């Protein structure tokens, strides 16, 4: 590889890295562990796969952060490529959640499924839009404001303010997850489990995967908080924070759709449709 002194192009030529093959191997272990766990209840191979994946994530992202701090690797064109990669990743996530929304409406709307009966199925009562769902909606909408404030603080080169509001956003994410865990606990104890029918299945899958994305986004923001404390981000060079903010806004938008369709519409008279 040519040295930086003789470099005649704006691209970052990445050094040989062990992380791609290590990530593929870890994903294989996790997949095999998941299959074995579903058939035998042996969970340790699955746990090992996730631990290895976590180690790969930490090591790979550490290297990317190091590359970003050199000042010469992440040129303007490289930053543009990273932003485009994040946009495409979020687009793939939109398709991921579209599948869950499709499953929910396919099971509940006679216009999509002629055998759809009473919704929810059986004696199950749909979860309404008040209480914890409404509170969590207010929390996530507030967090979208706080992360925007943090982003503008970075643009103004006010890193202490940016770190403070990033930390507040992460705390709001943790509070959201705490309320969701409590909601799940109450549902499992007193209402239904994921195996009790199509409504519980689609409900837990859609809201549960969203909760997982909130967890990922919260970890993303916590990393950004410590990077801000370390002085990593600059007004003209903060792709890492932009990616975290975009991801967080995506999580917020998905929740709004979940709240409207699963909690509000699903529990309203309009959601209790019968097949003709």
pLDDT in tens, 60-103: 888 888 877 776 667 777 778 888 999 999 999 999 999 999 88
Q: Give the pTM.
A: 0.84
| Nearest CA-CA partner of 181 in 160, 153, 207 | 207
Domain boundary pick from 74, 95, 111: 74
Angle (CA) 134 141 262, round 5°:
45
Q: How confident is the model at residue 1 (pLDDT cuts 50, 70, 90)?
A: very low
Percent composition of the chain: helix, strand, coil (DSSP 3-state, to 5): 75, 0, 25
Residue 275 has pLDDT above 50, yes or no: no
Indicate the residue among 51, 74, 97 that finishes a domain.
74
**Could you tell me if 227 and 65 are in contact, meaning their C-beta atoms sit under 8 angstroms apart?**
yes
What CATH number did the domain enclosing 46 receive? 1.10.287.70
Average pLDDT score, the chain? 86
Number of domains in the chain: 2
Do both 182 and 139 map to the same domain?
A: yes
223 lies in some domain = yes
Kindly state whether residues 229 and 117 are assigned to the same domain: yes
Q: Which residue has the higher pLDDT, 272 or 198?
A: 198
The number of helices, as runs of H, and strands, as runs of E, in the chain is: 8, 0
Average pLDDT over residues 214-239: 90
pLDDT of residue 244: 94
**Are 48 and 61 part of one and the same domain?**
yes
Q: Which of 14, 39, 74 is the last residue of a domain?
A: 74
- Whether 11 and 24 map to the same domain: the answer is yes
What size, in residues, is the chain? Answer: 276
Q: What is the CA radius of gyration of the chain?
A: 22
Which structural domain, as residue segments, surrounds residue 21? 1-74
Same domain, 114 and 210: yes
Does residue 13 sit in helix, strand or coil?
coil
* 63 & 147 share domain: no
Reported confidence tier of residue 2, pLDDT bands at 50, 70, 90: very low
**Is residue 213 domain-resident?**
yes
Q: Using CA atoms, how far apart are residues 207 and 150, in angstroms rounded to an integer? A: 27
- What pLDDT digit, counting tens, does each position of 152-174 carry? 999 999 999 999 999 999 999 99
Whether 276 is in a domain gets the answer no
What integer is the mean pLDDT of 213-228?
93
């Amino acid at each position: 590889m040519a040295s930086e002194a003789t470099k005649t192009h704006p691209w970052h030529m990445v050094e040989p890295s062990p992380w791609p093959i290590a990530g593929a191997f870890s994903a294989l272990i996790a997949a095999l562990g998941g299959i074995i766990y579903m058939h035998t209840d042996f969970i340790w191979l699955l746990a090992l796969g996730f631990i290895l994946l976590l180690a790969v994530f930490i090591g790979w992202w550490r290297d990317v952060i190091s590359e970003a701090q050199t000042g010469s690797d992440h040129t303007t064109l490289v930053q543009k490529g990273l932003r485009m990669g994040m946009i495409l990743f979020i687009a793939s996530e939109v398709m991921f959640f579209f599948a869950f929304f499709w499953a929910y409406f396919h099971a509940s709307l006679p216009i999509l499924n002629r055998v759809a009966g009473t919704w929810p199925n059986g004696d199950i009562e749909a979860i309404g839009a008040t209480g914890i769902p409404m509170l969590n909606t207010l929390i996530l909408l507030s967090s979208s404001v706080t992360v925007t404030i943090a982003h503008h603080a970075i643009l103004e080169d006010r890193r202490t303010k940016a770190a403070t509001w990033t930390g507040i956003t992460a705390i709001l994410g943790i509070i959201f997850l705490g309320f969701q865990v409590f909601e799940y606990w109450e549902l499992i104890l007193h209402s239904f489990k994921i195996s009790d029918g199509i409504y519980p299945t689609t409900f837990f899958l859609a809201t549960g995967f969203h909760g997982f994305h909130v967890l990922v986004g919260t970890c993303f923001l916590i990393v950004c908080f410590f990077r801000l404390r370390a002085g990593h981000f600059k007004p003209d060079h903060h792709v890492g924070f932009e990616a975290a903010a975009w991801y967080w806004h995506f999580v917020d938008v998905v929740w709004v759709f979940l709240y409207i369709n699963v909690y509000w519409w699903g529990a309203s008279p309009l959601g209790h449709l019968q097949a003709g």
